[in-house]
Amino acid sequence: MSFEHGFEPTSLREYDIRGVVGKTLSSKDAFAIGRTFASLVLRSGGRRVVVGYDGRLSSPELEAALVSGAVQSGAEVVRIGCGPTPMLYFASIVTAADGAIMVTGSHNPPEYNGFKMMLGGKPFYGDQIRELGRLAAIGDVVPEAVGSSELIDISGDYVDRLLQDYDGSRPLRVVWDNGNSAAGDVLSRLVCKLPGEHTVLFGEVDGSFPNHHPDPTVPTNLEALIAEVKTQGADLGIAFDGDADRIGIVDDKGQIFWGDQILILLARDVLKSRPGATIIADVKTSQMVFDEIGRAGGMPLMWRTGHSLIKSKMVETGAPLAGEMSGHIFFADKWFGFDDALYAAIRVLGIVSRLSGSLSQMRDALPQMVNTPELRFDCADTRKFEVIEEVAGRLEKVRADVSKIDGVRVNTVDGWWLLRASNTQAVLVARAESRTEEGLERLKFALASQLQESGLATPDFSGENAGH
């Protein structure tokens, strides 16, 4: 039977394949991904593909079509069922899989879904995704064959391995906001085996997300967690995104513990056993993080935003820890180098239980910065990278202090501002940080001036400054 399939172009993203189910993404797309990706695995000399899916309402149907396509290519498919994306990564390692696909919409609204992939133990992204689309369009796949599929339950092994690295010294009172995410079943088993008192909010896996949007980087999504932490007098609160590869934390006062602050907490601990190690943070991260990593005896490294890019850089540099502002945390000291919010939570609990004071005291002792939230504004895909080049060119002419690792990050006496093109959406992303409100205003003015010179409207700076 001949096979050719064209994807909706907007669904082929930088780090995954993603779209609105019934509009830009369908079960036919899922079958084509299975058929084409499995062909790539087989052509690379492999055969085993592990597949998992999250709790979205469309995920079971998409997973079934995906498996059907992979089996038709002759792959040996290992299905792990519904669970968090990190459990899929874990399964790919312990089953020695040649490829892995997770059906997940991550932190997107309920109508979205998508596919995250690994090939040969490495992230599958960028040009590889575009090549998959090209191969599917021309039907360049292996001949039909009779593969196989089996369903296994890896969750018990995953929970046991998570617990293996818990190193707390005193029991804690913890509130968990599962946010109806795919972590629900695993989380319920995990907290039963941890010392202390644990309360789980919205523990049921529900892809309609009836309680709040599954993105812990948005403060409004943490309101229920903050309220419960305060009510209980808990030591901290922990939240997940839709597929539990990103973590959110609030301290004992109910203050949001931002992604870069989480990285400081973890870096100080990791560097005790790995002095001098490289610790990676993405380009959106506060300068305070790089300073604190250096102060703790580490080698800070600023790198491009994107979980696939971060994981690849960790392998290249041998870094035992990395983190992004978005809450992706990557451990490679005792763990496997992938982003896992459940594992990050285990490590955070151990550290908090050993603190001489509270988590809020540690947070309040950090240098206090004033910064904008992450600002996102529309810019056509055909224009967004051109704007970055224009801004970079003007800054170089005036010999500004510019890093071009990912977009432009400009250092001044007031602090820094960032402008980068999103790899996944038709938007530009901006951020600015200073030690004073006056300095921040000057940085925002400099950023706005550059945008105006490129013919773009000034971004809305009216959002509350995130002081941290």
What residues are annotated to the active site?
106
Cα–Cα distances (Å) from 79 to 259, 263, 337, in that order, read 32, 33, 22
Q: Which amino acid type is present at position 463? A: G
Alpha-carbon span 265 to 351, nearest angstrom: 8
CA-based torsion, 324, 327, 328, 331: positive or negative = positive
Query: Residue 255 CB: number of other CB atoms within 10 A?
Result: 17
Buried/exposed 366-389: b ≥16 CB within 10 Å, e otherwise = beebbbbbebeeebeeebbeebbe
DSSP H or E segment with residue 128: helix 127-138
Alpha-carbon span 294 to 289, nearest angstrom: 9
Strands 278-282, 321-323: pairing is: parallel
Residue 260: HSE in the Cβ half-sphere, 13 Å Cα cutoff: 28
